[in-house]
Amino acid sequence: MNTINAFDLDAAASHIASFGESHDIEIVSHSSGGRAYRRKKRIAIRPVKSPVTYAIALHELGHVLGHQCGRRIDKELQAWEWARANALVWVRRMEDAKRDGLRSYVAWAERKQRRFPDRVFITPEHPVYEQAR
């Protein structure tokens, strides 16, 4: 991963397309955010037009290509770690998108935990808390 602050939009868009081609992953258009379908080898993303949409595209690819195990919160963290490790460049806006995404999943897991106290969605010592700050 390159941490230089220069973001090349064309290179980022080509990078996402190359993952699709080389791993036979279908990349379809999505109106907001992104979705991944691991078994179908498909991601639904907005077009790569900024560091944020590039980060989200990488994150969704991480759900398909990366190591995915554990609870949903674990898989979200793993997909973001894959995204960062495989990015051509990782700029502040991408880190902010990662943090915002993780915060939303922490909030989701905490709501679920309150609603279903007999099930475990997240624990206080989970590493996602450190990265969601």
The tens digit of pLDDT for each residue in 42-75 reads 999 999 999 999 999 999 999 999 999 999 999 9
The predicted model scores a pTM of 0.91
Q: Write the pLDDT tens digit of every residue in 30-45.
A: 888 899 999 999 999 9
Q: What is the CA radius of gyration of the chain?
A: 15
Mean pLDDT of the chain: 92
pLDDT above 60: residue 132:
yes
Amino acid at 123: T
